[in-house]
Chains A and B, each alone.
Chain A
């Protein structure tokens, strides 16, 4: 069974940094592209970033380019999202997701990030 468990969220001040982690299990991690998807309170789902199975390619939505960095450690089956220069509009639940080209996304349970002074 695919399991994706996020950690690292919480309250952070504007302009500060936060790093999210996602521990993956139940599948061969280094066979899959991985992504972060966010959902602001009472809003819809938005793709944030994707990293290829081997970490060689990364993609970001425009609003986070230059501020967020997606990375992975295949030896530890762990996905990361380093978020710098955080803004109030980054407040959201962040989901770790496995990109399955057949089914779409497999989802973690999500972790809340609140950017506020």
Chain B
């Protein structure tokens, strides 16, 4: 199975700052990586697919990058509504596997 190692597990930020979340795959997955946002009591919401593509309606402050084994989600100009847990997912090989999640909190 492809292990997705996500870091950091949690981070504190202020409104208006820029944050980055990283995922490292145990083997190359090309660009077949998605990013999801999950708020308490809700199911995950799609943000990014195929590593760099923003889903319809996702604000352009969310940017995905990476190829092969290393992937990054960048949130520019963080807004209060962005406080959530973020997960990466590789869907290149069965079983599809998630990173452990990154909790974004306010300082």
Q: Is B18 an interface residue (CB 8 A)?
A: no
B100:A104 contact, CB within 8 angstroms: no
Binding site for B on A (CB under 8 A): 35, 44-47, 50, 59, 61, 95, 99, 101-110
Contact A50 B95 (CB under 8 A): yes
Q: B95–A101 contact, CB under 8 A?
A: no
At the interface with chain A, which of B20-28, B43-51, B67-75, B76-84? B43-51
Interface residues of B (CB under 8 A from A): 34, 36, 38, 43-44, 46, 49-50, 55, 87, 89, 91, 94-101
Q: Evaluate whether A107 and B44 lie within 8 angstroms (CB atoms) in the complex, with A47-B97, A59-B94 already known.
A: yes
Contact (Cβ within 8 A) B101 A50: no
List B contacts of A95 (CB < 8 A): 43-44
Whether B91 lies near A99 (C-beta < 8 A) is yes
- Contact between B87 and A103, CB atoms less than 8 A apart: no
B43 contacts A109, C-beta separation under 8 Å? yes
Interchain CB contact (< 8 A) of A107 among B43, B97, B98, B101:
B43
Residue of B nearest to A35 (CB): B96
- Nearest 7 pairs between A and B by C-beta? A104-B34, A107-B43, A44-B101, A103-B49, A45-B98, A44-B100, A47-B95
